[in-house]
Amino acid sequence: MTTPAPLDDANLATRRITRLSVGVAVVLIALKAFALGASGSVSILASLTDSALDLAASLATFFAVRWAAAPPDPEHRYGHGKGEALAALVQSGLVFASAIFIGWEALQRVLDPRPVTAGAWATGVVIASIVITAGLVFMQTRALKKTGSLAVAGDRAHYAADLAANAVVLVGVVSGAFLGAPGLDAAAGLVVAVWLFWGAVGMLRAAADHLLDRAAPEQDLTAITRAVLEDPRISGVHQLRTRMAGQVMMIQMHVDLDPALTLEAAHAIVVEAETRVLSHYPTADLLIHADPRGLDQARDGVQAATPAQPLDVAPPDSDVPAEAVRAPAAPKGPWS
């Protein structure tokens, strides 16, 4: 698991990589428009259309990450992080449209093959596109490791698909221009369309998970729980909730403390637990509610927990499988 960068550094990294993404899209469009005019290749047309939509998607990402980085305000108390998911949703829609257009055009060329002219120019442009796109994907991968940005992940996903698609386009151009097989050029366009459609499905799923507040992966939930339970004064964690808002993980939980503790002592224990969690997830927005140990269980007719019998999770050094840990009691309200 990669520890995310502090939020300011992460926002700076996303702004930089989105500027680069827009610049690359503009360069690729210019190159491919020239190659299309010279060759008439349907593969080049497919790739040019994809790059044009890449520019639209990159612009959406460019503005979305800046909006998502804006601090909370009275109307958006949890910040604007969902803007990244909206950008990914726009990206997936554009890629779906691209796949449909390219598939239709390629199908027409399969039924009515046309020769590919100026093959040398077209081949050179495709090779240049592959090199430029590979460099961008490499830079996006580095930025993604630092930020975990959903918008950058969506941008990287469609440029990674472009990288593979350009390789297919290269096969189509070479086949149509040098091997006298224009039908292969059209077939390559169909392969690109299918590839883009599949990539759009993946982006749509990721955006939907984000917008519908899908919980963090199990490994993150385990890491959070273990960090909290490092303090033996905390005997249990329950009602742990997580969701993502852009690059910020929202974390809420209840912890069980000795009911004899003073409010000041309980507060100090909770603050220490928050510090331990934030050392693993420095961009998290964390809320921990302290419960007097045994109060909820007694009210619900459940035996109070002891250090040897934890409430909902095994202690950090436990060998008890996750599936064997008792599920938490039913909540009493939507945020109880």
pLDDT value of residue 8: 61
Q: Which two tokens stand for residue 163?
A: 């990288």
Low-confidence residues of the chain, pLDDT below 50? 1-5, 298-336
Degrees, nearest 5: CA angle 133-138-139: 100
Give tens-digit pLDDT for 51-107.
787 787 788 778 877 777 777 778 777 777 777 778 778 778 877 877 787 777 777
At 307, give phi and psi (nearest 5°): -55, -30
What burial class does residue 318 get, using C-beta atoms within 10 Å of its C-beta: 0-12 exposed, 13-18 middle, 19+ buried?
middle
Q: Distance (Å, rounded) from C-alpha 251 to C-alpha 239?
A: 10
Residue pair 293/261 in contact by the 8 Å Cβ criterion: no
Q: What's the pLDDT score for residue 312?
A: 45
Strand spans (E) along the chain: 236-245, 248-257, 285-292
pLDDT for 291 equals 93
* Percent of the chain that is helix, strand, coil (3-state, to 5): 65, 10, 25
Distance CA 197, CA 191 (A): 10
Retrieve residue 334's tokens: 């939507």
Collapsing DSSP to helix, strand or coil, 256 comes out as strand
- Size (the chain), residues: 336
CA 108 to chain centre: 35
Q: What pLDDT is recorded for position 117?
A: 55
The predicted structure's pLDDT at residue 295: 66
pLDDT of residue 80: 73
Residue-wise pLDDT tens digits, 272-309: 999 999 999 888 889 999 999 876 554 444 443 343 34
Q: Is the Cβ–Cβ distance between 225 and 313 less than 8 Å?
A: yes
- The pLDDT of residue 146: 74
Question: What pLDDT score was predicted for residue 257?
Answer: 95
CA distance 334 to 156: 36
